[in-house]
Every structure is written in structure tokens, then in C-alpha cells.
Amino acid sequence: MADDGAGPEVVRRLSAGHLPAGVRVEDGGADSLRLPGLWQGEADVWLVDAVTAGGGPGSIVRLGHDEVLAVPQRHATAHALSLPEGLRWIALSYPEMAAVRYRLWGIVARRLSLVSGLSDEVGAAVERVVLEILGELAG
């Protein structure tokens, strides 16, 4: 997974800590069709994913709800939806989930390849995102 493993690593670290009551941490994987089942009943969903734009490797891109949904689809196939396109699809397919509010922490990847382990820059960004999310939860 290389740096594409940034989101699952944040999930792993958050799951190992003490979270406030009512906070769930889930690895959504790469299949957007399973996300509605994970998120039903939630008012707020915070996402962490590797991204390829927004600065140098290890930079953190923070997007609010409207910004996440406004990111355009870069290709014309339903076989590989981008995260924002998947979120728009969920809102259309599951009207009861249209009110879910999203936030995204995107970690700019150095390498997206079939090797294991995060690059040093992304590993450091993962730690910063974990601390930021914990701070927001305590806030």
C-alpha cells in the first residue's frame, strides 16, 4: 500500500487510544459500496485518506464538508469512483444519509505503489493527524 496506507494507519493508532464515548473509528477500505453500512445513523463522518495534490509529501490537506463534495471526478467510469464522487453517490442512493456532514484530512503521498510501509514524510504526517483529531475530539 505504501503511502496509501496513511488512512488505515491513523485508524489503527486512534483505535489503540482512549476515545470519547460515542466515537467510533472504522477502516472504510477501498469499496465505497460498504460505507453506507458503516455510517448509517451518524451525523458527522471524519475521513482520513492519502491524496496526491495539495503540497509536498507529508503535507496535510484539510477540507470541510462542502469542499470535499466539490472535488471533481477526474475520470469517466463508475468502476473507480473518487472519494468525493462516492460520497455524492451515497447521498443520492441513501436519502437518509444526505444530511451526514464530512471532514477530510488528506495526507499528501510520496509514493503510491505495491510496497509496504509509509514514507518518512507520511509517517510523520500520520502522527500529526492523529494528534489533531484527538485534540478536536477533546475540544
**How high is the mean pLDDT of the chain?**
90
pTM, to two decimals: 0.90
Q: Is the pLDDT of residue 100 over 90?
A: yes
Q: Confidence class of residue 79 from pLDDT cuts 50, 70 and 90?
A: low
Percent of the chain with pLDDT over 90: 68
Q: Where are the domains of the chain?
A: 2-138
Q: What is the CATH number of domain 2-138?
A: 3.40.50.1450
The answer to whether residue 133 scores a pLDDT higher than 90 is: yes
Reference 89, options 75, 69, 109, 112; nearest CA is: 69
pLDDT at 33: 79
Angle between helices 120-138 and 6-15 (to 10 degrees): 40
Q: Considering the chain, what percentage of its residues have pLDDT values greater than 70? A: 96
